[in-house]
Structure 1
Amino acid sequence: MRFALSADSLDGVAPALAAALRERGHEIVARHGALDPAARDDWAWASEAAARDVADGRADQAVVACWTGTGASIAANKVAGIRAALCADAATAEGARRWNDANVLALSLRTLSAPLLGEILDAWLAAAPSADAEDRANVAHLAEIERT
């Protein structure tokens, strides 16, 4: 799978994101914010750029990160077609992929350890979107909300 990455600083697990995904067999197609020395590193700009990579088809998914993860999630969710989920544990990551068909993983650079990052990534990557009609209807409704 092709991933875009963003972080607003090189704190916490930010430097480990690309390696953690590559170790799991995934390709990094873009780096934004502090992960690209030439880019603006503010969370809103960096997260938007990674989310646009997904929305425009350059990446299949993205991981966005800031100190709390909240700002990164909010910025990514402003891009049409993006369903970013702030995940602090593996169960939330698995549920976000399954029930919400989340396509952007938002992370806190303040709270995550390397082992917890691995657990979250493993759960995120192992989960598939639900085929349940009710779950699909909820995800489809998000697109309707974006249009209004």
Structure 2
Amino acid sequence: MFDHETVARQECAVRNAQGGGRGHVIVGADEASPVITDIETHLRRLGFDVTVIGPPAHQDMQWAQVGRRVGELVASGDAVFGVVACWTGTGVSIAANKVPGVRAALVTDAQTAAGARRWNDANVVALSLRLLTPALASEVLDAWVSQEFDPSEQENIAQVEPTPTTSTQHG
């Protein structure tokens, strides 16, 4: 059986070690869609190395698996950011956000994408396949990659990072 995850991780490691381009991006979706191909092409044009996971890469994965896997690859440093998509964008966003260190933002327009990067230090962009067109995808991604995190927001970001939970007994 072909292990797509191992291959993706090895490809990430090689690309990151080579240091070429603008970095490596993981794109994942729960269904094969022409707009995912457009996203991959656009990101490559912008100078990113791209790995696609999920049904667009002929992998049998549901939205929860796609969101979590992209989140894991971003959180581990194997990718500079991730792009996830499902019909509404909500499911993959929720799944990605379950991974410690991931800040996935459900984005429907360029301004929201820019703000998510600048003020929220988002590292995964979640998109709705229902709403997405190739032109909108390009606008969102252009805004996303053009923004840097505003360091003055660091204290705010720290407040939403996972904290260790302690179990207490009520008696």
Question: Is 1:136 aligned to 2:154, yes or no?
Answer: yes
By how many angstroms is 1:46 displaced?
A: 1.1
Looking at structure 2, the residues matched to 106 and 56 of structure 1 have their Cα atoms a distance apart, in angstroms, of: 18
What is aligned with 2:129? 109
Percent identity between the two aligned chains: 44
By how many angstroms is 1:146 displaced?
A: 4.1
Alignment deviations for residues 74-94 of structure 1 (CA, whole Å, 9 cap, x no partner): 000000000000100000000
What SS class does the counterpart of residue 59 from structure 1 fall into?
coil
By how many angstroms is 1:12 displaced?
A: 5.3
CA contact (8 A) 2:39 2:134 kept: no
Looking at structure 1, the residues matched to 109 and 147 of structure 2 have their Cα atoms a distance apart, in angstroms, of: 14
**Letter of the 1:35 counterpart:** P
Looking at structure 1, the residues matched to 73 and 149 of structure 2 have their Cα atoms a distance apart, in angstroms, of: 20
**Letter of the 1:20 counterpart:** H
- Runs of 4+ in structure 1 deviating by more than 2 angstroms, as ranges, are 145-148
Question: Is 1:48 aligned to 2:63, yes or no?
Answer: no
CA contact (8 A) 2:90 2:106 kept: yes
CA contact (8 A) 2:29 2:63 kept: yes
CA contact (8 A) 1:9 1:34 kept: yes
Q: CA RMSD in A?
A: 1.2
By how many angstroms is 1:2 displaced?
A: 1.1
What SS class does the counterpart of residue 13 from structure 1 fall into?
helix
Question: Is 1:34 aligned to 2:55, yes or no?
Answer: yes
Answer with 1 or 2: which has the greater Rg.
2
- Residue of structure 2 aligned with 1:61, choices 81, 86, 108: 81
What is aligned with 1:4? 26
Looking at structure 1, the residues matched to 30 and 37 of structure 2 have their Cα atoms a distance apart, in angstroms, of: 11
* TM-score under structure 1 length normalisation: 0.91
* TM-score under structure 2 length normalisation: 0.80
Alignment deviations for residues 90-134 of structure 1 (CA, whole Å, 9 cap, x no partner): 0000000000000000001110111111110010000000021xx
CA contact (8 A) 1:12 1:113 kept: no
What is aligned with 1:20? 42
- Residue of structure 1 aligned with 2:140, choices 109, 120, 131: 120
CA contact (8 A) 1:67 1:109 kept: yes
Looking at structure 2, the residues matched to 67 and 12 of structure 1 have their Cα atoms a distance apart, in angstroms, of: 13
